[in-house]
A and B are shown apart, each in its own frame.
Chain A
Amino acid sequence: MRELFPMKQVNGFIFSLLLTVIALSVYFLDMSFELGITILLITAFVQAGVQLIIFMHAGEGEDSKTIYTTLYYGVFIALATVFGSLLAMVWGYF
């Protein structure tokens, strides 16, 4: 039975629940927008990292370099699209 619940994954699950609780604090506690969005940015990206490394085994296998390159590329395009558009269309350069 024990081998079916490896510590690494159980800890990863507990850690991701903990991150969810921390993220929830922005709803239940009274805080400034800047502090709230900082907390959300940190918890969301750490959470994504936990999933990728612990649960998706991104680092194992001989293709892991290619896999990480694809991921970095995808994330770079994602961030450039989101923040580039926000900069051009919302934050005042219109």
Chain B
Amino acid sequence: MNVNSTQPLEYSTEQNRLNILGFWIFLGCEIMLFATLFTSYFIYENRTGSGPAGAEIFEITPVLIETILLLTSSFTIGLAVNAMRLGRTKAMLGFLAVTLVLGAGFLSVEIYEFIHYYHVGATLQTSAFTGMLLTTLGTHGAHVAFGLFWGLFIFLQIKKQGLTPQTANKSFIFSLYWHFLDVMWIFIFSFIYLKGMM
């Protein structure tokens, strides 16, 4: 294996470099996926039928908690990559663990939020608005749930194998994914919740 030691570990082989590039191309497609969800949401935003409107069901507190949790987790995964580049395996694992705990916290609040929507009569079938709202939030939430398992498996692999070009590459790609989820949440926070409650 041709390891280039002038580059950080996650970029050190040709395969690693291509993996990272490939993942960026995937993220480009994810941007388009969320764009179609936002499009449908904006079009159906006022088609509430006999169901509730956004301003009636959105609650600022859980949304704020979710935002802070996800923003902080995006910061800690950034610190994990920094620790990884310094070769500090323990610190890296610590930051990764904090990230996953914050992610789990985010998901718990989101599940609470979905239960709240169900109780106030905003389900997938209620109206075009609630249907698209839950689809958009649910797609983001499903990404976070998937990321939690992905991150957990990377955590276990690093614990077992240490930081190698492979595990470092996986961790870096996971950090890209996690930051991307944070970016999408910022758009959900701004253009679904805040716009809806304005």
Contact = CB atoms under 8 A, between A and B. Distances in A.
Interface of A: 3-6, 9, 12-13, 16-17, 20, 23-24, 26-27, 33, 36-37, 40-41, 43-44, 47-48, 51-52, 54-58, 61-63, 66-67, 70-71, 73-75, 77-79, 81-82, 85-86, 89-90
Contact of B79 (A5, A26, A56, A57): A5
**10 interchain residue pairs of minimum CB distance:** A78-B35, A74-B28, A74-B31, A70-B28, A13-B75, A44-B190, A55-B78, A40-B190, A67-B24, A85-B39
A74 B179 CA distance: 16
A51 B31 contact: no
A51 B179 contact: yes
A45 to B, nearest CB: 9
A27 B197 contact: yes
A20 B69 CA distance: 12
A61 B4 CA distance: 13
Contacts of A40: 190-191, 194-195
Interface in B145-165: none
Contacts, number: 136
Contacts of A3: 86
Interface in B1-56: 7, 11, 17, 20-21, 24-25, 27-32, 34-36, 38-39, 42-43
Given A13-B75, A17-B71, A52-B183, A74 B198 contact: no
B143 interface: no
A55 B74 contact: yes
10 contacts: A9-B79, A27-B60, A27-B198, A40-B194, A47-B186, A48-B187, A55-B179, A63-B20, A73-B28, A82-B42
B62 to A, nearest CB: 14
Residues of B contacting A: mostly: helix
A74 B27 contact: yes
A36 B195 CA distance: 8
B183 to A, nearest CB: 5
Interface in B59-100: 60, 64, 67-68, 71-72, 74-75, 77-79, 81-83, 86, 88, 91
Interface residues of B, number: 52
Among B20, B28, B29: residue with most chain A CB under 10 A: B28
Nearest to B184: A48
Given A9-B78, A82-B35, A37 B24 contact: no
A75 B31 contact: yes
A21 to B, nearest CB: 10
Contacts of B42: 82, 85-86, 90
B176 interface: yes
Contacts of A89: 43
